[in-house]
Amino acid sequence: MRNYAALDRFLDALATEVYAEPPTEPHLSITRMTIESLLGDGIIKPGMRVLDVGCGQGLALELFREAGMQPIGITLGPDFAVCRSKGLETYDVDQNFMEFGAADFDFLWCRHVLEHSVAPLFTLTEYRRVVRLDGFVYVEVPAPDTSAHHETNPNHYSVLPHSSWLNLFVRAGFAVENSMAINVNVPCGSDLYWSFLLRRRG
């Protein structure tokens, strides 16, 4: 029990590093285009139960709702109140300890959130738990060693190489259906994100 108490103290200390993040470009455009693509490909459909992990101020939640889905978001810090003010179903919950039942969701959306995990393999097993068998998970993460230097962000704990993410997804019980590089320009120069479409295996 002593070791678990130490972990609790460590995680509580990290909670002070959570910050608000209003949606800006290129994230606004990438979110809209990605959701449109997932709808077009039939990965997400009206009526689906969707979980937005790290929903920020609710951009994706609003788009899922407009598309006829049943979205629920989780977030930490000041963004929670912003989502609630918009009438979005949102909970102040850590991505590692979600209070949902097994296989509760058809689809899980996780954009620029997994890099905030100190134990991404553990986090991914929680994603797998709440998604139904053969359900899909969309993950997008920043690449290391770009002009933005995401690995130096004080709230980024897992900015990993592409091959490391692929290995973690498989170990967590997912099949990698697709992976893409997203090249963007930001004020500091060129930047790179990786997107992954995962399917929960049996």
Q: CATH number for the domain including 44?
A: 3.40.50.150
Domain count, the chain: 1
pLDDT tens-digit readout, 38-51: 999 999 999 999 99
Domain extent at residue 12: 2-200
Is residue 1 scored above 60 in pLDDT? no
The DSSP 8-state label assigned to residue 18 in this structure reads -
Contacts of 174 (CB under 8 A, 6+ apart): 124, 128, 137, 198, 199, 200, 201
Is residue 119 scored above 60 in pLDDT? yes
**pTM score of the predicted model:** 0.95
Higher-confidence residue: 14 or 68? 68
> Would you place residue 15 in the very low, low, confident or very high pLDDT band (cuts 50, 70, 90)?
confident
